[in-house]
Amino acid sequence: MCGIVGYTGLGQGAAGGVATPSRTPLDVALEGLRRLEYRGYDSAGVALVAPGFERVATAKKAGKLANLIEEVDLHPLPDATAAIGHTRWATHGGPTDTNAHPHLADGDRLAVIHNGIVENFALLKQELLADGVTFHSETDTEVAAQLIAKAYRETGNLTAAMGVAARRLHGTFTLLAVHADVPDTVVGARHDSPLVVGLGEGENFLGSDVAAFIAHTHEALELGQDQIVTITPTSVAVTDFDGNPAEAKRFTVDWDAEAAEKGGFDSFMDKEIHDQPHAVGDTLLGRTDASGNLVLDDLRIDESLLRAVNKIIVVACGTAAYSGHVAKYAIEHWCRIPVEVELAHEFRYRDPIVDEKTLVVAVTQSGETMDTLMAVRHAREQGAKVISIVNTHGSTIPRESDAVLYTHAGPEIAVASTKAFLAQITAAYLLGLYLAQLRGNKFPDEISAILDELRDMPRKIQTVIERGEYVRATARSMRDASSVLFLGRHVGFPVALEGALKLKELAYIHAEGFAAGELKHGPIALIDEGQPVFVVVPSPRGRDSLHSKVVSNIQEIRARGARTLVIAEDGDDEVRKYADEIFWIPQAPTLLQPLLAVVPLQIFAMALATAKGLDVDQPRNLAKSVTVE
């Protein structure tokens, strides 16, 4: 997912209308891009404008942001009044200097950056070629730049030109543009792709998320679908694509720049694993009213409709989908409503059975996952109500949902999700308990008792983290492993799936999760001498039959030469006899155990990847959020 930054300001101690080196637009753009590196990218670039510029000043380089910084150090750019910056994830055209953004047009007086995909770019390009336009890259973005340039020559107004171009583009896009004729202005447009506005004093900002400008302001605007924003140092104007005035919702960011820094840890992922007790605790805060009843953040669904729900469908992708699988067990048990879990990218293409009595729960860290957004829109078209579980304020999916339950994990910078996963599970538990309260499936004292158990989970998660050195040492001893298997039952099954995903994402080795009951139905053929197998063992309390069955699974694979790495609750003496390595977790109710059991798997994947010399924050080929289908 590309990173986008826009800035216009007089600067601190500005002279002659051009920002001084105390805080220049270039500084703001590069700092914003650095904070957006976690989104994944393969090239970076900036464009600057100021009074008297005959052309836009640009620099762009393939590779990491350090390459761009080296380029501007070697070939300094002039002082400016406005800047746009971009980190690109290649779609149309490879990751080269030429294909990097910004792209220029109108005699190099216009610069454009873009997040998303223009699906009709080929048709538009043919039209522009017929008009005599020359292209210099393989990108769809240059087509958008040339469209804006053409419209600007016709209208003489950058905002109007953006609207003309945006109406012709099909696909998903956020566009930012600057022009030498209006050197204090940045214009942005969004369609199915994120863009937020940062509000300052004598300066204003644009970003693909608030991390781009959080070091400078906590006040922001969330733009709606198909809106254009025009910022100058002293003004912010929002319109629709036709130029009609439009409203944007103001909000305050409740975390600061320090929260997006490593804080002394070796990686963002390590920091975020350690953040997990706070992420779970903060997600639980403020969820009850004066009477002790559960409440949701932003409920726009009549309670009578929720009481009438006869089916719930969770739609999500990747790690978020595994949180949905945990939610299925809890919600069905507490509410007695059937729950399906769907991969969002498959949902609308299989003609799902959805009606006004269906509740769709969309789970997404970013709130911008395109597959999930399309699933939400399809569900609402079929009459379903949608509740979203989201970590990012100002994003698209909560705006298009009927209700939202925000997690409070704070910024998650590492591409591979950790604390957002635990916060999503916690939010799903709250949703399940809310529905049980609303529908009368549980007595108030029962709900209160479960909430008390949930409120104790941050302490227990902290205990697991403090035991992490043994997990790390085990991982370091396995740096040459080429394949690791994961087994679990009941809520341990999605934990096994998530453990396998983390290892694939970070260590680039074969890893696969199975339901332990499936072992004899095929996967046991993979077991040979020395094969590492993680086993998530259910609590011996309450569900004794499952515990004994999983212990039998451990015996079966160990007899065939497997190296058994077991996650078990404190005091589970039965499992000691069959485990080569045991990673102990505190005792917890069965449905809440995933909040603990997944933590050693996160630590293991991170430590193994680190031992292999890999970048755990930015795994190859991956982006933080997938904003195209």
DSSP letter at 427 equals H
Tokens representing 373 are: 């957004």
Active site residue 335: no
Catalytic residue among 2, 328, 385, 504: 2
Q: Are 412 and 36 in contact (CB under 8 A)?
A: no
140: nearest Cα among 119, 161, 158: 119
Catalytic residue among 328, 385, 460, 624: 624
Q: Is 358 helix (H, G, I), strand (E, B) or coil?
A: strand
The DSSP-derived string for 27-92 is: HHHHHHHHHTGGG--SEEEEEEE-TT-SS-EEEEEES-HHHHHHHHHHSPPPP-SEEEEEEE--SS
In the chain the first and final C-alpha atoms are separated, in Å, by 12
Longest dimension (CA), the chain: 79
- Which H helix or E strand runs over 475? helix 468-477
DSSP letter at 106 equals T
| 3-state DSSP helix/strand/coil % of the chain, to nearest 5 | 40, 25, 35
Q: Within 13 Å and on the Cβ side, how many CA atoms surround 310?
A: 5
Strands 82-88 and 3-9: antiparallel
Quote the CA–CA distance of 385 and 356 in Å, as a whole number.
7
The sheet with strand 82-88 has its strands ordered as: 57-62, 43-49, 82-88, 3-9, 203-207, 196-199, 219-222, 249-252
Note if the bond before 102 is cis, omega within 30 degrees: yes
Quote the CA–CA distance of 225 and 189 in Å, as a whole number.
9
Single-letter amino acid code for the residue at 85: G
Active centre residues (catalytic): 2, 624
